[in-house]
Structure 1
């Protein structure tokens, strides 16, 4: 692939705030003029408001110039116009995989928000899209922000120190070697403002169930941390051992607070009980094996976080010499905290010497990172500069994608691992639906 001289962005049907977060900052070699193609309505207007807020903020304002087309033939107009060479797609997931396939068929690079597929049918189409991208010599990449969270980066780093971590255990389905749990909230603040969610976000046929949405990040991290820079063949290496799904219920008042709508749209009628509560299949859990390693990922959506809290993450990697655990609860002040926890029976003084000797390797890559003993464990602390927040990670992903464009290729493992990831989530949904009992939710 020859790298494009100047990157020109196209935003296609932005319906999720992640589309705007890609433009929270400016980039070298990216044209400030961005063409937006979308159906008229709230989704595109909310997107443009966020871009305008970035352009008019007092500190480091951006200078984006949005050229907007909202006719019914927006998709065809985008394809005919050829106004850019990179399409950013973050919105209604019912259409997303088709948008991706159409864009790469037209010879356009694609930076897509997760999930790129929400069921087995769209997974098959996504596989076709990756084949078309290879044929047309364009890059297709998804926005995996969690790889840029410092505690996760350090968890991965320490797991690659055999003298500290040992080797990754195999685990069992009941006691997995790696666990990742994520708690999210429908009501939240983005860029300092209460987030207004589109009503379709609560329709799993348009947004996708929780088991194929946020779990995308968790499955990605399992692969990225346990098998760094190794390609995963989903047909050979992935085995789903169990999956389940359940609903979060919202009252009409809660629905109105987060969407601004005083009534449920007709397409949500199927999910509303006799009590008037909206049941959303936003929660899910997957037990599976990757190359024989047992893993578990789960996602839970609540309406609103406790005061002072936000979305939270728990992660444990079990090594033969120590466990690496990220906690983000009340005790940690709702900030992610990485703990190194030696195996039972370990000589702690000897372990401390080995750990301190190993810190040079970590500090070479992450200057300023320190360890402090707490009882039988060691807490890892990173300077504030590394804690740049979830919103900043979108720019970091975009920078990585721009680097790949400049180099003309992505690492060999990225595409097979994206395919393996979406196979895992969509296959788990298929299994969870088969196993759902009539009493397990709406």
Structure 2
């Protein structure tokens, strides 16, 4: 049965208005109080939806219009937002206007109560939601992935064409660009005195490699994450090769060819790809989902009582002639004191830029410069060129070690993964103000999703 749920004033929302005049219940906002941007949350089934609202934004209305099917997913989202509103330090003041019903998407499209649709949830229909939203003239900020298979990629292509026609902006949430070591690796790769020229590499020895290890059971905002059961269905979430690897493929092209457009038909060649499954026991599944038994849609992935989730993948490809390798692995739970990890190497003619995040780094990402030339001349050139990076990132230093140099980053730059969602949102809002994305963003998003979906197609052949 359809439901109209009246505006939910979350804890503290009415007393923390950050500069807006307080309003009596039901009173309309005056024109001077109206913010230019208003969020529409559609089927917020992933915790990333709430993380977009962990911060307030100067140009975004505090009222968020939520359209979803009734159930635990939307409740979990609302609970997280409520906690952000009620936290003692820097509380938010979101007010959620919620509609639940099986016709939530049609209701959203007919109401058009906002102008920015945020999508972070079940990926099975996400590309459809993207396409229908931009067709209706709404801007879309979407969590990755925006497409999980070849058919979805074709639909995504059509969505970008529709967005251009309707003069709206479609953008995905690439948080890893804002992780400080990734940003610095890109900066240093652009300095010939430090990096030299990007090497071409070979299939056996790629010039760029990016690997990440993730975990199904983890803590978010200090609490154990409860994942929806559909997260473990690759038909709904997507395989690992088209999910987390989206970030890695994005970082490859963003770092190696900054601000350059990539044509996936001309510039990319998939060499090989493979996929494997992570195995979950019934007790592990219950721990992370709080569900006693497997739902029927997972029966296809069961062998005896073990759930096989195709969350792991590896792909080798060339990008403008440069050999790249991307791989992702999902384990159930990280050992105590550890977490998700990332490894990245870019090989230059003068030095390799390597990000490590293992035991020696206390499981925090650290960037290293490992020169191919150990002479004094390189060291002098490095010191001179590094001053440019210090101008952009004050406080960053070089520390000499046996293999080269460690880039020492002050704690102020390590704001954590959750904070990166606000950074992406703020960048997107800058683009909305000027009415366009950088010229390279759309072709590179298309290239990224062609690579992931084509690699999955090859891995299944």
Partners of 1:111 and 1:229 in 2: how far apart? Answer: 20
SS at match of 2:303: coil
Give CA-to-partner distance per residue, 1:85-138, whole Å, 9 cap, x none: 000000000010000000000000000000000000000000000000000000
Structure 2 segments unaligned to the other structure (5+ residues): 1-33
Report what 1:80 is aligned to: 110
| Deviation of the 1:350 alpha carbon | 2.2
Report what 2:413 is aligned to: 386
Report what 1:432 is aligned to: 459
Report what 2:37 is aligned to: 7
Report what 2:292 is aligned to: 262
Aligned residues of 2:35 and 2:60 also touching (Cα < 8 A): no
Q: How much is the aligned-residue C-alpha RMSD, in angstroms?
A: 0.8
Within 5 Å, which residues of 2 pair with 1:293-372? Answer: 293-343=322-372, 346-372=373-399
Aligned residues of 1:210 and 1:284 also touching (Cα < 8 A): yes
Structure 1 segments unaligned to the other structure (5+ residues): 435-442
Partners of 2:374 and 2:293 in 1: how far apart? Answer: 62
| Deviation of the 1:347 alpha carbon | 3.5
Partners of 1:206 and 1:296 in 2: how far apart? Answer: 26
Aligned residues of 1:181 and 1:299 also touching (Cα < 8 A): yes
Within 5 Å, which residues of 2 pair with 1:143-154? Answer: 143-154=173-184
Partners of 1:398 and 1:424 in 2: how far apart? Answer: 25
The number of residue pairs the alignment matches comes to 428
Aligned residues of 1:247 and 1:281 also touching (Cα < 8 A): yes
Partners of 1:133 and 1:5 in 2: how far apart? Answer: 23
Aligned residues of 1:348 and 1:376 also touching (Cα < 8 A): no
Aligned residues of 2:119 and 2:141 also touching (Cα < 8 A): yes
Report what 1:106 is aligned to: 136
SS at match of 1:207: coil
Report what 2:53 is aligned to: 23
Is 1:281 matched up with 2:321? Answer: no
SS at match of 2:328: strand
Give CA-to-partner distance per residue, 1:308-341, whole Å, 9 cap, x none: 1111000000001100000000110000000000
Match of 2:268 among 217, 232, 238: 238
Report what 1:70 is aligned to: 100
Partners of 2:316 and 2:256 in 1: how far apart? Answer: 15
Is 1:43 matched up with 2:76? Answer: no
Partners of 2:59 and 2:172 in 1: how far apart? Answer: 20
Report what 2:23 is aligned to: none
Report what 2:13 is aligned to: none
Partners of 1:360 and 1:190 in 2: how far apart? Answer: 36
- Superposition TM-score, scaled by structure 2 size: 0.92
Aligned residues of 1:252 and 1:277 also touching (Cα < 8 A): yes
SS at match of 2:235: helix
Q: Closer, same or farther in 2 for the Cα pair 1:219/1:163, shift >3 Å? A: same
| Deviation of the 1:5 alpha carbon | 6.2
- Superposition TM-score, scaled by structure 1 size: 0.96
Aligned residues of 1:215 and 1:425 also touching (Cα < 8 A): yes
